[in-house]
Structure formats: C-alpha cells, structure tokens
Amino acid sequence: MAGELRDNRGRGEAEWSWPAIHPEGRKFGLFAAGIALAVLLILDWEIIGWPLLLLSFGVFAFFRDPERVVPQGDDVIVAPADGLVTLITQVPPPPELQGPDGAGHAGLGAEPVTRVSIFMSVFDVHINRAPVGGTVRRVVYLPGKFLNADLDKASEENERQHILIERPDGRPIGFTQIAGLVARRIVPFVKPGDIVAAGQRIGLIRFGSRVDVYLPQGTDAKVLLGQTVIAGETVLAELGRQQLIEGVNQ
C-alpha cells in the first residue's frame, strides 16, 4: 500500500506516534512478558520478575517497525538497514549474485565493485528494506557460522542471504543479509518474482547483524565510514555518480 506523499514544500502531515511492532516479534515479546508476569504474580519473585518484565519491553522495542519517508529519484539507492557504516571496500560480488540465472536474467559481474557494509546493533531497527525498486530475481540462503558481523570475513563465512533486484531499466542491484554473533535467523519477506518498491520491507535479521550492498561499477558511496544510516531514508549512492566525499569526526 502506498504511503502518504510528502515533499519539501510542506505538503503532507507530520505527527509523532509509537512505532508499530512487527508481527514477527510480537510472539517473542508476549512470551517474555508472560514469563515475567508469572514470576511476579505467581512466584512473587520481584527481584527476578521486574528485570524480566523490563527485558520483555526490550524485545518489543527490538522488533519495532517505524514508518519511513523514502526519497524519490530514478538513480537513488537507499540504505537497506539502520545502523553504522563499518566497511566501504572494493571486492568482487558474491558468486551467488554473479552471472545470468537459468531464466536469462542478468546478474552482477565478477569485477570488483564498492561494497558498503552496515552493522546493526541490538538497539537498531532490524527491519530491512529494498535499496531500489524492481523485480526480485534471486533469493539465495546460505548456512554458515555466527562470527561477529562487524568482521570483514563475516561476508563469506556467516549465515547469510543474498538478494538480487532487477531495476525497471534492467540493471541488477545485489545486497546480502548477514547473521551475526547473536543473530540466529534471517527472515525473508520476499521471493523471486516479487515486485518491490524502493524502501519496501523485504526481511529482518533477529538480534544484531549486518547488511552488505554492492554498488554498480562507476558508482561511489554517498556515505562515510562511521556514519549512522536509516533504512529506506538515507541515500546510500546515486547510480553513475562518482565523487570523493570527506567528513570530520567530532
């Protein structure tokens, strides 16, 4: 369902509201709250019950699903995850995203491209969003280890899921959901053949993780190492735009 149109001339409405809790997380929050209430009301163990009740609120907060205003533009690639940009490096795309598939749809090349890695702590929103609009061509799940998602080798060794979206102009954009030290499950919301809009929810990773985005050749990142980005709102790059961007830590 399309959201309300907002622009830079004041059209639209702005109001604060509690973020929704994604259905995937409600069962975990209710389970934690049930245990806490049982400890408090039945066993009367307040020293344990109150921390458990506080933990249940934390579980609900982890699965919060706030609305986002997605910037519009034919060449815009938006951040697929909330979190900290921890790596920007030149690497070949994963083999699972390279080359055409059996149906004749193009994949990524084997040449090195810019990979932007976004690390999500347990305090970040963990709903992942499509960096571009188009047709989902590949969803490839790979089991693996549960190393610290902040490590570079997590891209090749951890449990992960590769997704390839073909834009309306035929250009493919690939990204990868990576489970981390605490994360234990990647939950997809899309499958091959689905048509998605930029910023649309495409999945989540439970309890701390990382998302890698592979920018096409000739495209530089518009974010910096150490920058905090917002899924569906922060512009990660613009197709075909190369520019050195510098910032100063303060």
Would you say 158 and 145 are in contact if contact means Cβ atoms under 8 Å apart? yes
Range 153-158, long-range pairs (CB < 8 A, 24+ positions)? 154/178, 154/180, 154/210, 155/91, 155/94, 155/115, 155/117, 155/212, 156/94
Residues 101-132: pLDDT tens digits? 878 888 999 999 999 999 998 889 989 999 99
3-class SS of residue 36: helix
Return d(Cα 79, Cα 236) in angstroms, integer.
5
Residue carrying the six token digits 């150490």: 226
Cβ neighbors of 6 (< 8 A, separation 6 or more) are: 12, 14, 69
Residue 209 designated active-site: yes
- CA distances to 10, 127, 247 from 80, rounded to whole Å, are 26, 9, 22
User: What DSSP letter does each residue of 176-189 carry, written as one string?
Assistant: EEEE-SS---EEE-
Return d(Cα 75, Cα 213) in angstroms, integer.
15
pLDDT tens for the chain, 250 residues: list them.
457 778 888 888 777 788 888 887 787 788 888 888 888 888 878 888 888 888 888 878 878 899 999 998 999 999 999 999 999 999 999 999 999 887 888 899 999 999 999 999 888 998 999 999 999 999 999 887 766 556 666 667 778 899 999 999 999 999 999 986 655 578 889 999 999 999 999 998 876 689 999 999 999 999 999 999 999 999 999 999 998 888 887 7
Task: Write down the pTM of the prediction.
Answer: 0.85
Q: Out of 56, 117, 155, 209, which one is annotated catalytic?
A: 209
pLDDT at 22: 81
* CATH architecture of the region 76-238: Distorted Sandwich (2.70)
